[in-house]
């Protein structure tokens, strides 16, 4: 499934093959490294990410753009809002 | 409002349990909790400078799983528990304290421990802080 048009990803992190909590850690570092308003995505093959990443995004107060299933992994897309 | 706190007594020095400690600490740090580790006995021994490099102990009950577990961790490039904990301290509020009694017993100084360990405290200080917490674990 494709990321919607109009969403431009500033930084994409490939965390495939990394285990919980690796992909979440990579995402947190990625979000820290960009400016407010920018969009970060992380690719994960860890099944824990499906719940962990949205939970963190909500807690941290960013915007969860969505979960996009690819072949053998998932792309999680987040906009930094603060 | 005070931050929510997760307190972990880290008693065990085996890699499987240390990996549980560091993973839980990471979850706590990621979710915005103050994480405090109180290292005692074998948990503290594992934090002696450089000890993690040669520590390949696992829980005795699961000794038969040691070789496959270590192989799987190497093949799948699972970061070691100390690096995982360092990562937790980078993204959140993680404090690591050494148990004064264990330090005295074995004759260790703060300088003998990994840099992540910031201070030596007594059990009463740990309990005083843990009682305000939301989550307390003994591992």
Contacts of A22 in chain B (CB under 8 A): 79
Residue A2: predicted pLDDT: 82
Write out residues in chain B with pLDDT < 50, as ranges. none
DSSP designation for B112: G
Strands of the sheet containing A63-70, edge to edge, are A9-14, A39-44, A73-79, A63-70
CB contacts under 8 A, B 90-129 vs A, are 90-91
Q: Which sequence spans correspond to the domains of chain A? A: 9-79
Contacts of B1 (CB under 8 A, 6+ apart): none
Total structural domains in chain B?
Answer: 1
- At residue B2, the pLDDT reads 62
Which three-class secondary structure state does DSSP give residue A82? coil
pLDDT of res. A3: 84
Q: Compute mean pLDDT per 10 residues along chain A, 82 residues long, and list them.
A: 86 94 94 97 95 95 96 96 96
pLDDT tens track for B12-33 = 999 999 999 999 999 999 999 9
ipTM for this prediction? 0.84
Q: How far does B118 lie from chain A, in Å, by closest CA?
A: 23
Select from A13, A15, A21, A31 the residue whose CB has the most chain B CBs within 10 Å, as the one to mutate to test that interface. Answer: A21
- In this prediction, residue A4 carries a pLDDT of 84
Task: Find the domain containing B110 and state its range.
Answer: 5-138
CB contact under 8 A, B31 and A17: no
Which pLDDT belongs to residue B3? 78
DSSP string, B19-79: HHHHHHHHHHHHTT-EEEEEE-HHHHHTTBTTHHHH-----GGGGGGHHHHHHHHHHTTPP
CATH entry 3.40.50.2020 includes domain A9-79: no
Catalytic residue among A1, A20, A36, A55: A20
Give just the sign of the alpha carbon dihedral B101, B107, B109, B110.
negative
| Catalytic residue check, A68 | no
What CATH number is given to the structural domain containing B124? 3.40.1260.10
* Token output for B20: 């549980």
């Amino acid at each position: 499934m494709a990321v919607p048009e109009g969403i431009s990803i500033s930084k994409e992190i490939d965390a495939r093959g990394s285990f919980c909590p690796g992909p979440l850690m990579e995402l947190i570092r990625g979000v820290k490294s960009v400016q407010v308003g920018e969009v970060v995505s992380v690719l994960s093959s860890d099944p824990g990410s499906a719940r962990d990443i949205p939970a963190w995004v909500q807690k941290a107060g960013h915007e969860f753009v969505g979960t996009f299933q690819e072949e053998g992994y998932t792309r999680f897309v987040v906009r930094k809002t603060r | 409002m005070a931050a929510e706190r997760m307190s972990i007594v880290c008693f065990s020095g085996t890699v499987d349990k240390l990996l549980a400690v560091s993973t839980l600490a990471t979850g706590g740090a990621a979710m915005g909790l103050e994480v405090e580790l109180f290292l005692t006995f074998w948990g503290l021994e594992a934090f002696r400078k450089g000890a993690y490099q040669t520590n390949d102990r696992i829980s005795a009950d699961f000794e038969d799983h040691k070789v496959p577990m270590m192989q799987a961790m190497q093949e799948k490039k699972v970061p070691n528990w100390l690096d995982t904990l360092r990562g937790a301290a980078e993204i959140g509020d993680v404090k690591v304290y050494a148990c004064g009694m264990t330090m005295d017993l074995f004759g260790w100084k703060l300088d003998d421990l990994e840099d992540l360990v910031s201070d030596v405290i007594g059990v009463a200080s740990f309990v005083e802080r843990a009682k305000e917490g939301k989550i307390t674990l003994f591992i």
